[in-house]
Structure formats: structure tokens, C-alpha cells
A and B are shown apart, each in its own frame.
Chain A
């Protein structure tokens, strides 16, 4: 039995999801016989961790606070072992622009993109470059905040007239945004635990004509299929590509890699790597683990074991 602090909640936009992930993890850890304390992350975090002196911090904190590497940095400083990736991997995955540059530089295919800060538009006249970008990426274009999760602020622009509105929306979430080529095809997620790829999950929109990114998070608008409707060869390629990204960023413990498979060309591209993926009852990583024969408690036990070698339930 170990004393485990589950870090959850916080002030990020994904507080709600994080509280759900955290609660589920706490329940599992208790079933596994650990002494569990849930911590809703706030200004008292360091004091609380010092007082508690846990054997392990289980990070179920999504959004900025849990995924940009800050909490991991803090835990390193306090000497508290924690689940998942370290500060460097988290920081690089969290910023999609940084992540995509890195992938492109290392030959991991990712959809074409251009990134801009709010300042570039205000001070450098970046708006004048929009027509050239639109021509290069072709409509529809996906506009996203550079940092953020759960598809918040992600918009489609299907014409030049829609680009400013989509940019305004994305800038509501971050001061840096990217415009990305839209890939029409299979929307895939490869979950990885300890450097091993789990079965691929595919998000299938229930109404293709009106599919948007919000649909993926709304019950009833998307069906998640596992294993994905892919040939064995494509599955193997998707998993291999996901593992390449995992290694490139130096992930640890567990992560989820989101990919697209172009319906026409069959080309696979990596959209992003989630260093602290959701662990709620509708999240994709637990679904994939389940398909691989790893129930939620087993999954949580495995994640703990990876962070604290030698400790198992």
C-alpha cells in the first residue's frame, strides 16, 4: 500500500473533465488498497504536498496546469514521484505549434500549418499574409489555439470570410493560434502505455455532414469504435507512427496520440500528443486499454507501477 495524492481540478478550462478523471482514479486506487487523498489543485498545493508527503502523485490534471509541465516541475523539486511524462515532454506536447515543428523537423508527418501570435496580427500586419496561407492550405481550414485541450476553440473555416471569426474564437483561448490543413478521413487515437501501443480507437461522427470538433465531445454525436475500422497494415502503421511521436517527445508512463488517415490518399498524419490524456468513463485511453484486456483498475495499477517501480497492488 502506498500513500497516493491524486491531483485534479485546478483552474484550467478543463477543470470539469479533470475532476471526473480524478474521481475515477481515486476510486480505482482505493480498490487497489492504496491510501488516497484527492487534491483539488490551487494556491495551497505545495504546502499540501509537503504536509502529506505522499509516496506518489497521480496527475489527473488536464489543461494548462497539468499538461504544460508546471506541476511536474514542482513535483520534481519536492522530490515526489509522479505518474506520466516529465516537464520537458509535457511542455512540448502541450504547445501544438512547438510539437508540430518538432515532428516536421524529425520527419513525422503532420498536417501543414502556419502559426501566429496575436501580436503578429496587431504589430506585424500578419493579416496581409492570410490570403497566401488560405491558398496553400485550401479550404476548409482548421483554426486552433496553440495550447488547450478538449477541442475548445477549435473551428472550421470553409471560406475566407469565416477565417477572421475562427481566429477570434481561437484567440479567446490562447494568444497563439495555428491554421492547419484539414484532413478528411478517419479520426484516430492511439493510446500508449509504457511504450506499447494499445488498439486504435476511431471517432466516427454520426452525421458526417455537420461534423465539427465539438461533436467529438458531445454524447450522441460521435461513436467511438475500437478497434478502428482499419486494415491490419494501417493499424500497424498508425501504432508505429504514434510510438515514433512518443519517443520523439520523450513521453513516459502513458499518453494518447491523435492521428488522421486521409480517406483519399491513405496518408497518416499526427495531429498532437496528449501527455495527460483523460481517464473518465468516456475517455479514449481507458477504452483502448479495455479492448486490450486491461480493465480500469489494472490500467491504474500499471500506471502507478510505472511511476513507482516495485510497487503494485
Chain B
């Protein structure tokens, strides 16, 4: 898969495989103004080391962002500034995980977390999701099973809002239950929330952190999707003892995050422009999502199912189970279009017929054209399969290579419901 992914970055390829925010939406003149101001007012500070936990000015900006997501009781001292949100995942693993320890994640999970879990040799157990996010009932069953085996998970990793890659959002009852479960079992939860503020529609839901009050939830935030991915500033808010350990881990990892980047954030936030900029991002991404949903309906209509995210950057599409999206990518690349094969989001080989599509980083025309090309190669494969099996376009039940797990997962978002009439009651 790595070999194939190396080709997705070629300039002629319409890549729906990226996870990029569109930084052309950020006005260059604002960037010029902010950097000039830093040079004029704080040059020496910007070029100097800073405290490991982060500069006070940026921690105030972070408290503002968290307040905007309904977490009003955060003090700047509760915040550990990190080098992007990714560093929080790394620090939490570094702090908590010994080789062989169980970490619980969603199925599918953030593809960028997979190598991180792998490098700490975590045994990742993945919990299925549906349109309401992680199946907390399945989580509880899994926790019971692990307890019987004498294994205690180190933490539960979740992206409750506008999930990457699944595009779904955890419902309020599930959020409440997850926080209860964490409390009952004294289990840490790492809430990864890069996209929460990128809501296009619907009512915002409380974060796990605010429901829990910060006792068992470690909160991960980032400026990557609301301001800039290139400045690499994220943060963690964690229960006291964990916070201390994360701080020590951060000191070992990189002493402190870039002072220049932190001052960029702080200076920019003082200008008061961020709320307006956030609206611009949302407006652009919402339109792109709509274009993608329309194109999917038009070009993949009968051959796939997909999630309808109310925000964020991604959606998750699932094809008939006889199509392996890793192989399909080779054929798609011939048509100069790319996506992330679903397998990248699993550690156990599942996800083979799904794909992650990004709508935030690609212009509307390219989204439409990209989806049209994907639709064409999928249709070719579906027709060929029909020819091979002597069936119509829809595969017969007997052709499933391994029907058992499919059926047990029949209500799960990432796995296809391909058999016969089931398609009619898809997730969309």
C-alpha cells in the first residue's frame, strides 16, 4: 500500500487521499501582518526556547478555543502545548503504553495513529462504529472479556466528532455512557477533537471532556484545522498525574514547541479574527462536502454506501465486498485519482472494501471529476464481477469469501451490507 500511496502525491493526480485543510482559504495579508507584528514586538522571544508546557499567551488562546466548544472552566495552567495534535497521541502512548499493552480504538481508526500505536507495540483492539459513533455496548463487552483475560487496557482512543476516517459523530447518549464506563472502570479516554469546531449543520454536542469534568478524559486539541496545519501547534488537557507525565515526556521529546509558531497563534488570536476565519473554512468545506455527496450519488449511486458527515474533512465510502480498495487504487491511479484504502484505518486487515475520501483540500470541480473517475473504475469492476459470477451487478451471497464476520457486523458503518435487498436501507 505504501508503494501505491507514494503515487497519490503526483501533480496530475486528483487526490482525495489527503487529509489537508485548504490553507489558501487563509488570507496571506493576515499572515504577513501577524509575522510582521511578531518581528516588531517579540523577535527575541520568538527566536528563543520556551517553557515545555508552552507560552502563556498561546495557552490563553487555547482556553478561548476550548470555551467556544463549551469547556469554560479551563485554566491556562491545565494546558500542555504540543507540536501538533499528533504529538499528544505519541506522548500518551509514550507515557502509558508498554509493549503488549492493550489500547482500544475505533474501527476504523485514524490512519495516522496506527503507526504510533505500532511503534509502542500496543495490542490495539478495535471497536466497531455505526452512524452514532463507537458502539459503547461492544466496548463494554470487550472490556469484560479483557478483564476475564486479566488484561487492562491503558486507554480508549476516540474521535467522537466528525470522525477521521468514518465521518460519523458519537451521539449524546453514547457520549454519556462512555464517560460513565470510564468512570466505573477507572479507565482513561483520549478524546481526539481536531474537527469539533468545523460543524456545518446540527447542534454541537458536549465534548467527552466536559461531560467527564476532566477526571478520566485526556483532551487533545489542535489549531491545524481551525487556523493552520503548518504551524504545528496542538495541545493536551489531562488529569493531574497524567499531565505531569506528559510534560516530562514532552521535555524528553522536543523540550518545547516552536516559540515562533506559538506566538503566531497568540498574536493572531489577539487580532480577534479567528471566529471569522473559522466561518470561512466552514463555508468552503460545507460546499465541498455537498459537491462530494452529490457526485457520489450521481457516479457511485447503486454501487456504494457512504457516511454523511455534518462537519469535518472526511467521509467513508464502502463498496461491494468483492472489491479490495487497495487493489482498486492501482486502477484508480491509472485514471489519475486517489483515495485512502480502508485497510489503512484498521490493524487487523479489515476495511478492505472501504475508502476514505477527503473533501476539504480539493477544489469543487476536482472533487466532482475525482468521484466521477472513481465511479467509472468501480463500475468496471462491478460489471466484470457480474460477468465472472454470471450474476447481475449485485453479487450473490455465496460469493462472499467469508460471510460470517460480515453478517455479525451487518449494522456497522465501515462494513458493507451487500447482500440482496439490504442495500436499500443503507446508511445514507
- Using a CB–CB distance below 8 Å, which chain A residues touch chain B? 11, 13-17, 118, 121-122, 127, 130, 150, 152-153, 161-165, 167-173
Residue B387 lies at the interface, judged by CB distance under 8 Å to chain A = yes
Knowing A121-B384, A161-B398, A164-B388 are in contact, say whether A169-B3 is a contact too (CB < 8 A). no
The answer to whether A153 and B323 touch across the interface, beta carbons within 8 angstroms, is: no
The answer to whether B388 and A152 touch across the interface, beta carbons within 8 angstroms, is: no
The answer to whether B3 and A162 touch across the interface, beta carbons within 8 angstroms, is: no
Among A16, A130, A163, A171, the residue within 8 A (CB) of B3 is: A16
Q: Which residues of B contact A17 (CB under 8 A)?
A: 3
Distance, CA A234 to CA B55, complexed state (A)? 69
The answer to whether B327 and A153 touch across the interface, beta carbons within 8 angstroms, is: yes
Knowing A172-B327, A172-B328 are in contact, say whether A165-B401 is a contact too (CB < 8 A). yes
Knowing A11-B7, A16-B6 are in contact, say whether A168-B330 is a contact too (CB < 8 A). no
Residue B381 lies at the interface, judged by CB distance under 8 Å to chain A = yes
Residue B60 lies at the interface, judged by CB distance under 8 Å to chain A = no
* Residue from A14, A130, A152 with most neighbouring chain B CB atoms (10 Å): A152
Distance, CA A127 to CA B327, complexed state (A)? 21
Among B3, B322, B328, the residue within 8 A (CB) of A152 is: B3
Knowing A11-B10, A15-B3, A168-B381 are in contact, say whether A122-B387 is a contact too (CB < 8 A). yes
A contact patch SS? helix
Knowing A15-B3, A127-B390 are in contact, say whether A122-B330 is a contact too (CB < 8 A). no
Residue B212 lies at the interface, judged by CB distance under 8 Å to chain A = no
Residue B367 lies at the interface, judged by CB distance under 8 Å to chain A = no
B127, chain A: closest CB distance, angstroms: 24
Which B378-410 residues have a C-beta within 8 angstroms of A?
381, 383-385, 387-390, 398-401
Q: Which 5 A-B pairs have the closest CB atoms?
A: A172-B327, A164-B388, A169-B327, A16-B6, A172-B331
* Residue from B333, B384, B400 with most neighbouring chain A CB atoms (10 Å): B384
A148, chain B: closest CB distance, angstroms: 9
B 299-343 to A, binary, CB cutoff 8 A, 1 in contact else 0: 000000000000000000000001110011111010000000000
The answer to whether A162 and B401 touch across the interface, beta carbons within 8 angstroms, is: yes
With both beta carbons as reference points, the residue of chain A lying nearest to B7 in the complex is identified as A15
Residue B2 lies at the interface, judged by CB distance under 8 Å to chain A = yes
Distance, CA A13 to CA B4, complexed state (A)? 6
* Residue from B324, B333, B398 with most neighbouring chain A CB atoms (10 Å): B324
The answer to whether A171 and B399 touch across the interface, beta carbons within 8 angstroms, is: no
With both beta carbons as reference points, the residue of chain A lying nearest to B387 in the complex is identified as A121
Distance, CA A14 to CA B3, complexed state (A)? 6
Q: Which residues of A contact B385 (CB under 8 A)?
A: 164, 168
B contact patch SS? helix
The answer to whether A169 and B324 touch across the interface, beta carbons within 8 angstroms, is: yes
Distance, CA A17 to CA B3, complexed state (A)? 7
A235, chain B: closest CB distance, angstroms: 32
Q: Which residues of A contact B4 (CB under 8 A)?
A: 13
- Using a CB–CB distance below 8 Å, which chain B residues touch chain A? 2-4, 6-7, 10, 322-324, 327-331, 333, 381, 383-385, 387-390, 398-401
Q: Which residues of A contact B10 (CB under 8 A)?
A: 11
Q: Which residues of A contact B387 (CB under 8 A)?
A: 121-122, 127
Distance, CA A201 to CA B330, complexed state (A)? 29
Q: Which residues of A contact B6 (CB under 8 A)?
A: 15-16
A16, chain B: closest CB distance, angstroms: 4
With both beta carbons as reference points, the residue of chain A lying nearest to B325 in the complex is identified as A172
The answer to whether A165 and B322 touch across the interface, beta carbons within 8 angstroms, is: yes
Among B2, B327, B398, B400, the residue within 8 A (CB) of A168 is: B327
The answer to whether A164 and B322 touch across the interface, beta carbons within 8 angstroms, is: yes
The answer to whether B327 and A161 touch across the interface, beta carbons within 8 angstroms, is: no
Distance, CA A17 to CA B4, complexed state (A)? 11
Q: Which residues of A contact B384 (CB under 8 A)?
A: 118, 121-122, 167-168, 171
With both beta carbons as reference points, the residue of chain A lying nearest to B2 in the complex is identified as A16
The answer to whether B330 and A13 touch across the interface, beta carbons within 8 angstroms, is: yes
Q: Which residues of B contact A161 (CB under 8 A)?
A: 398-401
Q: Which residues of B contact A15 (CB under 8 A)?
A: 3, 6-7
With both beta carbons as reference points, the residue of chain A lying nearest to B4 in the complex is identified as A13
The answer to whether B398 and A13 touch across the interface, beta carbons within 8 angstroms, is: no
Known: A13-B4, A168-B381. 9 other contacts (CB 8 A): A13-B330, A17-B3, A127-B387, A153-B327, A168-B323, A168-B385, A172-B324, A172-B330, A173-B331
The answer to whether B3 and A168 touch across the interface, beta carbons within 8 angstroms, is: no
Distance, CA A170 to CA B327, complexed state (A)? 8
The answer to whether B322 and A13 touch across the interface, beta carbons within 8 angstroms, is: no
A288, chain B: closest CB distance, angstroms: 23
Distance, CA A168 to CA B10, complexed state (A)? 25
With both beta carbons as reference points, the residue of chain B lying nearest to A170 in the complex is identified as B327
B9, chain A: closest CB distance, angstroms: 10
A-B contact pairs, 16 of them (CB 8 A): A13-B330, A15-B6, A122-B383, A127-B388, A150-B3, A153-B327, A153-B330, A161-B401, A163-B388, A164-B385, A168-B381, A168-B384, A169-B327, A170-B327, A171-B384, A172-B324
Q: Which residues of B contact A127 (CB under 8 A)?
A: 387-390
Distance, CA A164 to CA B322, complexed state (A)? 8
Distance, CA A107 to CA B89, complexed state (A)? 59
The answer to whether B324 and A165 touch across the interface, beta carbons within 8 angstroms, is: yes
Distance, CA A54 to CA B240, complexed state (A)? 65
Distance, CA A164 to CA B395, complexed state (A)? 10
Q: Which residues of B contact A168 (CB under 8 A)?
A: 322-324, 327, 381, 384-385, 388
B232, chain A: closest CB distance, angstroms: 26
The answer to whether A172 and B381 touch across the interface, beta carbons within 8 angstroms, is: yes
With both beta carbons as reference points, the residue of chain A lying nearest to B333 in the complex is identified as A13
With both beta carbons as reference points, the residue of chain A lying nearest to B323 in the complex is identified as A168
Distance, CA A130 to CA B390, complexed state (A)? 11
Distance, CA A152 to CA B4, complexed state (A)? 10
Q: Which residues of B contact A11 (CB under 8 A)?
A: 7, 10
Q: Which residues of A contact B331 (CB under 8 A)?
A: 171-173
Q: Which residues of B contact A173 (CB under 8 A)?
A: 327, 330-331
Distance, CA A118 to CA B388, complexed state (A)? 10
* Residue from A118, A169, A172 with most neighbouring chain B CB atoms (10 Å): A172
Distance, CA A195 to CA B324, complexed state (A)? 41
Distance, CA A5 to CA B327, complexed state (A)? 33
Distance, CA A27 to CA B290, complexed state (A)? 49
Q: Which residues of B contact A152 (CB under 8 A)?
A: 3, 330
A64, chain B: closest CB distance, angstroms: 11
A171, chain B: closest CB distance, angstroms: 6
B327, chain A: closest CB distance, angstroms: 4
Distance, CA A17 to CA B398, complexed state (A)? 38
* Residue from B7, B330, B385 with most neighbouring chain A CB atoms (10 Å): B330
Q: Which residues of B contact A170 (CB under 8 A)?
A: 327
With both beta carbons as reference points, the residue of chain A lying nearest to B383 in the complex is identified as A122
Among B3, B324, B400, the residue within 8 A (CB) of A13 is: B3
